[in-house]
Amino acid sequence: MSKKKFKGISTLTLHTAGHENDNFSHTTPIYATSTFTFNSTDEGIERFKGEDKSRLYTRWGNPTFNAAQDVIAALESHGINNEKGEPLELLAYLHSSGQAAMSTLFLSNLSTGDTLISHYSLYGGTQELMQKILVATGVTIILIDINDLALLETTIKENPNAKLIHLETPANPTLQCVDIEAICSVAHKHGLKVSVDNTVATPYLQQPFALGADFVFHSATKFLNGHGSALHGVLLGKDLEFMKTKVWKWHVLLGGNANAFDSYLLIQGMKTLEIRMEKHCSNTAKVAAYLDAHPAIAQVNYTGLKSHPHHAIANKQMKQHAPLISFELKGGIDAGMKFIDAVEVCTRAVSLGTVDTLVSHPASMTHMSIPKEERIKYGITDGLIRMSVGIENFEDLEADLAQALAKAGI
């Protein structure tokens, strides 16, 4: 765990994974190795007995993963003190993907007979993981409108085996937000833990540990990497003992470890997190205003618009509005498909958080395997377009949107 403290985010992401290594490499070395050597049995015994198991066997950890984990832990704890008024210490475990980190989170916290409470409008993969894998292990899943705190309290009381509340805010792709602080205080009153998927906001915009969360999850594939060059997921926790024992054990036994090359890409990507996020956010505000005023568009979902139902919650817990929007074309499914086909600057692809603007159509892509009735209930309508706004020059994005909306015959 890095002990360095910095005032600003860019200094932190540039200098946390330092240059300390035997060969004076300026960038973090890629330790492409499955195992680590010992000079003697005594040295082996010492390392096995020690707390840091990252120089034994790579499924258990690796110095390149450690460097990436340290940066993310520093970002999520930046400027936060614990109950004793000391700087918050976190442990982060890097995984091969967001889904792997989510599996560790759920399986290390829940077992047969337990209940997980969550809310509508989750990332498609999270919802499927809950309903196809967790349910099969004997865990009950309850999805509610979790901003209704009275309903949350009743649900907790009626389900004494509820152990964990999982939140995703803002949610991908509807941008619905839930009030982390209010939900954590209800949860903690009843002895439940809370995990927060902070993928869309990033720690630059929102720090769930400052609002009471017990665990934070990221698909680091998205804004943390920033360039769409690899998949990674990270699970962070503030109960260091629980992280070092149960969570670590489940992580290494499930085998969802990261790899050194992808960890290196993540470290490089995070160096520019602050300047990327600033540009992503300012471009998004302009794109949302442009789309909101366009006659062909029925609705724009962006937490920065006063019309967004969770604008106030987003203002309360985020430093700026996240650079993800979705919008509904008046022409429905046909217009949506024509629009996607007509873009020339925006990239047609799923995923989000890359330096270039990505456009996708959730109903036929990310949320295809969720039954239509259910998907519509969560706000994922047929004509919904999701846009992860990149760092291009705004004038080029505006011109592309104008021509694509025109070509789509709307």
Q: Which residues bind ligand PLP (CB under 6 A)?
A: 97-99, 123, 125-126, 168, 172, 197, 199-200, 219, 221-222, 231, 233
Spatial distance between the Cα atoms of 339 and 329, rounded to a whole number of angstroms:
9
Please, what is the minimum distance in Å from the beta carbon of residue 170 to ligand PLP? 9
Q: What are phi and psi of 166, to 5 degrees?
A: -110, 125
CB closer to ligand PLP, 233 vs 362 = 233
* Cα-based distances in Å from 163 to 108, 187, 194, 290: 11, 9, 9, 44
- Both tokens of 375, joined, read 């998907």
Q: Which is nearer to ligand PLP, 234 or 288 (CB)?
A: 234
- The whole-angstrom separation of Cα 61 and Cα 243 is 14
Judged by beta carbon, residue 104 or residue 405, the one nearer ligand PLP is: 104
Shortest distance (Å) from residue 224 CB to ligand PLP: 10
> Could you tell me the sign of the dihedral formed by the alpha carbons of 332, 335, 341, 344, in that order?
negative
CB of 163 to ligand PLP, least distance (A): 21
Q: For ligand PLP, which is the closer residue by CB, 197 or 274? A: 197
User: How far apart, in whole angstroms, are the C-alpha atoms of residue 282 and residue 368?
Assistant: 31
CB of 406 to ligand PLP, least distance (A): 31
Q: Smallest distance from the beta carbon of 365 to ligand PLP, in angstroms?
A: 12
DSSP assignment of 215-274 equals: EEEEETTTTTT-SS----EEEEES-HHHIIIIIHHHHHHHT-B--HHHHHHHHHHHTTHH
CB within 8 Å of 162: residues ≥ 6 apart: 114, 115, 116, 117, 142, 155, 156, 190, 192
Q: Closest approach of Cβ 376 to ligand PLP, in Å?
A: 20
Rounded Cα distance between 333 and 310, Å, is 26
- CB closer to ligand PLP, 247 vs 408: 247
Nearer to ligand PLP, 66 or 172 (CB): 172
Q: Give ∠ CA 18-216-138 in degrees, rounded to 5.
A: 135
Closer of 221 and 317 to ligand PLP (Cβ): 221
CA dist., res. 240 & res. 89, Å (int): 8
Q: Tell me whether residue 232 or residue 279 sits nearer to ligand PLP (CB atom).
A: 232
Residue from 219, 257, 243 nearest 351 by CA:
219
Q: How far is the CB of 146 from ligand PLP (least distance, A)?
A: 16
Distance in Å, CB of 361 to ligand PLP, minimum: 16
- CA 26-64-355 angle, to 5 degrees, is 75
How far is residue 91's CA from residue 102's CA, in Å, rounded to a whole number? 15
Position with the least CB separation from ligand PLP: 98
